[in-house]
Amino acid sequence: MELLEITEKHTMRREQAADLLRELADALSRHNGVDFLREGKKLHIRVPDEVEVELEVEIESGESGIEIEINW
């Protein structure tokens, strides 16, 4: 049973996507978690010291992508 799911999809420049990934990485390494601001409320997700990371690369003729999933 899911307690909460937040899904977002944005179009941005490649450099902006890199900045977003850096912010996420900094939050994980410095603050042991990540913060999300939704509807004026701050949600802090604590992340344990050990996580499972899945990296998926898809190359297709019309669209390609990289997925990074972190679970614990």
pLDDT, averaged across the chain: 92
CA 71 to CA 16: how far, in whole Å?
Answer: 24
Percentage of residues of the chain with pLDDT beyond 70: 100
* Amino acid 27: pLDDT: 92
- Looking at beta carbons, which pairs linking 7-16 to residues 24 or more positions away fall under 8 Å? none
Q: Name the more confident of 5 and 9.
A: 9
Helices (H) and strands (E) in the chain, counts: 1, 4
